[in-house]
Amino acid sequence: MSEQFFAHINKFIPVSHEDFQAIITFFEFQNVFKKQLLLEAGNSCTHNYFVLNGCLHMYFTNEKGVERTVQFAIDNWWMTDGLAYLNQTRTDFTIQAVEDTKLLSITFEKQEQLLKEFPQMERYFRIMYQIGYGASLRKMKHMFDFSKEEIYFHFTEHFPEFAQRVPQYLIASFLGLTPEYVSEIRAKKRS
């Protein structure tokens, strides 16, 4: 599993095997089970999670008690509440495993120490945040530009790895749709 993380980092910045052996010591390996919570809304956000294998989702619960998914993370993706993590404050979000998941976690304190000892990792994390921010902007654009039906089909066509792994009700939640509406448009497409 550490070779996978090594290869991932080296897609974005060069890191020697020797440096990586020290870098990996800042992380903890975790196995989490389907539906297990990693972070609950109202608690302090103290960890950043890298998914080795599996799937996580981040959501909030609105005033009507409806869960709204804001982010997914599958293999080689990061997940945390960025602002709460940075400020070491309470989060409004919950992070839960969608399926059994193997991940690496790092605390804010250890990440700060890692960045001091290995400044090249600052560039790596900057790139990860830029990619995540860019993806969020693109999602917002699609939400404004596309019809609800177009949003769903665009998502499933451009991100088939999610469409195949993530339950439809979570995809609906992520796209601001109801599970019933997703069922309708899927049935319409089949006919």
Query: Cα separation of 178 and 23, whole Å?
Result: 43
Range of the domain at 175: 146-191
Q: Are residues 88 and 169 in the same domain?
A: no
Per residue in 42-98, pLDDT (tens digit) is 999 999 999 999 999 999 999 999 899 999 999 999 999 999 999 999 999 999 999
- What tokens appear for 142 in the block? 């699609």
Q: By C-alpha distance, which of 49, 88, 92 is closest to 72?
A: 49
Are 36 and 109 members of one domain? yes
Mean pLDDT of 138-164: 84
Largest CA distance in the chain: 59
pLDDT at position 191 is 59
Q: 99 with 180, same domain? A: no
